[in-house]
Amino acid sequence: MGKNCFRLIFIIHTFLFVSSSFAAVLHWSPVESTSECIIAGYKVHYGTASGQYTQEINVGNVTAYDLDLLALVPTQTYFFAVNAYSTTNQEGPLSAPVSYQDNLPNIVAYPSLDHAGNTIDVTFNESNMQGADIKGNYEFSPTLIFDTPAIARTDKTYRLFMNYIPEYAIITMMLSNITDSTGNALMSNSIVLNDDDNDSMADDWEAHYGISTAFLDADDDGLDNREEYILGSSPIDDDS
């Protein structure tokens, strides 16, 4: 390292942002170049003990890095630190460490159904899922049939093109042979679609009739809303 290259450069400050979709992104403050040091980029260092970093990644001249790109062991705590390097390959001091524990791979929140377009969007909490683009790894009850187009991937979201998605149906989706990039199986291999509030009434049926509570009797006909849903009758018409 040059004698004075990083002498006056401020220490990098790091922080970890974990979104509601369980995406973990490491951020850090940029280091300003000086006449003695022109910043070329940053390196992310990590390991399983604070201050003992066994892995190093040159991430280039950016100020954030998606930790889901790494093959981390779920439930293992890792420590991350960042430093800058100059155009002459001189390196600055490491930032203070930031800890992170990866989750087992899983589906984020609830898959999104588009009845008009007959698509299902499934979002995972990790990148580079293995087997998520194979139609045979998905089964549905009641049965749904895939349409011709291949499963389309956008980052962590996979769009399934179905032949038809029935309205007012609660659907169970079962997944098999889908893992993260290091072979870890999903935390859960089944999820219920179109009943995000778990009240045993299809979400689109509730939206159609403007109801949200299972045990109220909206039309005062002696049947609560959930009974009306099971019978296929209208919860807002006492004659049906």
Q: How do residues 2-39 score in pLDDT, each as one tens digit?
A: 454 655 444 567 777 765 455 688 999 998 888 888 99
CATH topology of domain 112-194: Immunoglobulin-like (2.60.40)
Please report the pLDDT score of residue 9 as a whole number.
46
pTM above 0.85, yes or no: no
The average pLDDT across 165-186 equals 93
Largest CA distance in the chain: 88
What's the CA gap between 187 and 205, in Å, rounded?
Answer: 29
Q: Bigger pLDDT: 24 or 76? A: 76
In CATH terms, 14-101 corresponds, of 2.60.40.10, 2.40.50.140, 3.90.950.20, 1.10.760.10, to 2.60.40.10
Retrieve residue 226's tokens: 């959930």
In the chain the beta strands, taken as DSSP E runs, fall at: 14-18, 24-28, 39-47, 55-60, 64-66, 77-86, 98-101, 112-114, 119-123, 138-141, 152-154, 157-161, 171-175, 190-193
Judge contact between 123 and 156, C-beta under 8 A. Answer: yes
Give the Å distances, CA to CA, from 44 to 71, 76, 234: 14, 18, 59
Q: How do residues 94-113 score in pLDDT, each as one tens digit?
A: 999 999 988 788 888 789 99
In the predicted model, is pLDDT for residue 77 greater than 90? Answer: yes
Report which residue type is found at 169: A
What's the CA gap between 177 and 175, in Å, rounded?
Answer: 7
Where in the chain is CATH 2.60.40.10?
Answer: 14-101
